[in-house]
Amino acid sequence: MNYKNGAFKKQMELKLDYNNMMTEFVGEKEGFTPADFKENKKIAESAHKFVAENRGQGMMGWTELPYNQKEIVEDIIATAKDVKKKFDNFVVLGIGGSALGPISVFQALCHLRHNELPKSKRKFPKLYVEDNVDPERMAALLDVIDIKKTCFNVITKSGATSETMSQYLIIMDILKKALGKDAASHMIATTSEKKGNLIKIAKEEGLKTFYIPDGVGGRFSELCPVGLLPAAVVGIDIKALLAGAAHMDKICKNKNVTENPALVSALLEYMSIKKGKNISVMMPYADSLKYIADWYCQLWGESLGKAVDLDGNKVFVGQTPVKALGVTDQHSQVQLYREGPFDKVITIIGVEKFRTEVEISHGCDSIPDVSFLSGHTMNELINAERKATEYALTTANRLNYTILLPEVNAFTLGELLFMFELETAYCGAMLNIDTFNQPGVEGGKNATYALFGRKGYEKTKEEMDNAPKKKSEYIC
Ligand code: PA5
């Protein structure tokens, strides 16, 4: 992939088509007009300015990841080579931002049945991302991997998350029992350099360690070692991924809202929120992008769902992100999207050129209602169904827009991830909230610590003990 070539970059640019957000298409009541853009021009400009002025600072360190990781990337590539040589499996232990990026990039860029391929075809280790503490899942993992041929990557920025650290304790114990001193060579830690417990443990145990930069929050961390190491282990071109992100960053330097895809989508969502559209549906029409919707849900939900604004006012803002998959969810969700409440914006992701073509075979010639499919390809069918859904939503006056990828590759995926990250930052600035904190998540984490008797959480435990007791009459 020649991602340094200007013509290639141009050819691989994403397109954002927001026709179906405009009054001409979805009607006056729902849609927007050029006048709405004009009216909100200042808001868009100041969001753009906020991001431009704050990039690389505070919790906006993620904006520099496409540029400032040269040595780290080389280390990651060398480590991935070593992992490939020594191990059959690579298991990520992490949750939230420390898991959703690796899952979505793996699904997008590897063979859709990577782990099931025979080793000769797979060429790279199998990848498992364990983002839950379901005991059955842990037992199931241990049933299918040979621990002696497995490398684990424990990822946690805070170095304290109960889910991840409990997984670490279980696996390290198994490794030590099975391998003795060799256990450390089966575990890589990715964490904050200065904060948390994992860094202390990693030093004590002598683990190979990668760092999550201070200004990179969990949900903005896919393009740092959190995501880059698992991606490199399964053979993904991480330099192309970063090049795609840098290209999108360059496009989004443009402060003209209608020429900046991240800014225009942020503004459209912002104006929709103001109109009461409290649900944001992310619907990729490609199995490879299925988990991008999961990653987006965390990014959008955790970043924009906030109780207070930057001036301390209670605002309770945010859109509930919903994931859907085209065409699968046409037969599950689209009925609601087309006929239910007018409370959604639907973002469709389309792919122009799939990596393979499957022809629909001839047969059933005497039944025209079936045989009309023959001779076409599944590629044509999935894209026809995407256009059909866009049409069906639009004719029912439902706000929707489409992001079109020329194809799914490391470069275009880098563009897409970075576009969503910038869009989130812009939209947060428009809403005047702190996009980069997550007090709601911390609330749940702290309550778990209290329930498990962690030192320092006695007050939370007391509060929980004094909370109203559940009544048996409300349980049946
Ligand atoms: O975006 C965030 O910061 C969170 O959702 C975290 O990713 C998640 O809670 C996991 O945290 P950590 O990486 O500290 O284990």
Both 331 and 258 in one domain: the answer is: yes
Which residue, 192, 217, 239, sits at the end of a domain?
239
Integer-rounded Cα Rg, in Å, for the chain is: 24
Kindly report, residue by residue over 155-171, the tens digit of the pLDDT. Answer: 999 998 999 999 999 99
Residue whose Cα lies nearest atom 12 of ligand 1: it is 156
Distance CA(404)–CA(385), nearest Å, equals 14
Q: pLDDT confidence of 444, banded at 50, 70, 90?
A: confident
Domain that holds residue 197: 62-239
Both 78 and 212 in one domain: the answer is: yes
Both 150 and 283 in one domain: the answer is: no
Cα 68 to ligand 1 centroid, rounded to whole Å? 22
Q: Is 455 contained in some domain?
A: no
For residue 388, the tally of other CB atoms under 10 A from its CB is 13
Residue whose Cα lies nearest atom 15 of ligand 1: it is 156
Both 336 and 215 in one domain: the answer is: no
Which residue, 171, 206, 239, sits at the end of a domain?
239
Those residues with Cβ within 8 angstroms of residue 126's Cβ, 6 or more apart along the chain or in another chain: 88, 89, 90, 114, 115
Q: Which of 95, 130, 167, 192 to mutate to test the pocket of ligand 1 (most atoms within 8 A of CB)?
A: 95
CB within 6 Å of ligand 1 — which residues? 95-98, 156-158, 161, 164, 217-219, 302, 438, 441
Task: Tell me the two tokens of residue 287.
Answer: 């199995």
Q: Is 113 contained in some domain?
A: yes
Both 28 and 99 in one domain: the answer is: no
Both 248 and 156 in one domain: the answer is: no
Cα 373 to ligand 1 centroid, rounded to whole Å? 46
Both 90 and 100 in one domain: the answer is: yes
Q: Is 463 contained in some domain?
A: no
Q: Is 475 contained in some domain?
A: no
What is the per-residue pLDDT for 438? 92
Question: Is 370's pLDDT higher than 90?
Answer: yes
Ligand 1 atom at minimum distance from 441 CA: 9
Distance CA(141)–CA(67), nearest Å, equals 36
What is the per-residue pLDDT for 88? 98
Cα 216 to ligand 1 centroid, rounded to whole Å? 11
Cα 98 to ligand 1 centroid, rounded to whole Å? 6
Both 303 and 263 in one domain: the answer is: yes
Q: Is 471 contained in some domain?
A: no
CATH number for the domain harbouring residue 124: 3.40.50.10490
Ligand 1 atom at minimum distance from 226 CA: 13
Model-wide pTM > 0.95: yes
Question: Is 369's pLDDT higher than 90?
Answer: yes
Kindly report, residue by residue over 279-333, the tens digit of the pLDDT. Answer: 999 999 999 999 999 999 999 999 999 999 999 999 999 999 999 999 999 999 9
Which residue, 224, 239, 254, sits at the end of a domain?
239
Both 340 and 400 in one domain: the answer is: yes
Q: Is 442 contained in some domain?
A: no
Mean per-residue pLDDT for 339-347?
A: 98
Are 211 and 191 a contacting pair, CB within 8 Å?
A: yes
Q: pLDDT confidence of 186, banded at 50, 70, 90?
A: very high
Domain count, the chain: 2
Question: Is 68's pLDDT higher than 90?
Answer: yes
Ligand 1 atom at minimum distance from 217 CA: 3
What is the per-residue pLDDT for 445? 84
Q: Is 70 contained in some domain?
A: yes
Give exposure, 398-416, as e/b (b: 16+ Cβ within 10 Å): bbbbbbbbeebbbbbbbbb
Residue whose Cα lies nearest atom 3 of ligand 1: it is 218
Ligand 1 atom at minimum distance from 445 CA: 9
Cα 334 to ligand 1 centroid, rounded to whole Å? 32
Residue 110 CA from chain centroid, whole number: 16
Cα 207 to ligand 1 centroid, rounded to whole Å? 21
Longest dimension (CA), the chain: 75
Both 375 and 342 in one domain: the answer is: yes
Q: Is 108 contained in some domain?
A: yes
What's the mean per-residue pLDDT of the chain? Answer: 97
Both 37 and 93 in one domain: the answer is: no
Ligand 1 atom at minimum distance from 95 CA: 10
Kindly report, residue by residue over 390-443, the tens digit of the pLDDT. Answer: 999 999 999 999 999 999 999 999 999 999 999 999 999 999 999 999 998 888
Both 126 and 30 in one domain: the answer is: no
- Share of residues in the chain with pLDDT > 90 (%): 96
Catalytic residues: 302, 331, 445
Q: How far apart are the first and last CA of the chain?
A: 60
Q: pLDDT confidence of 381, banded at 50, 70, 90?
A: very high
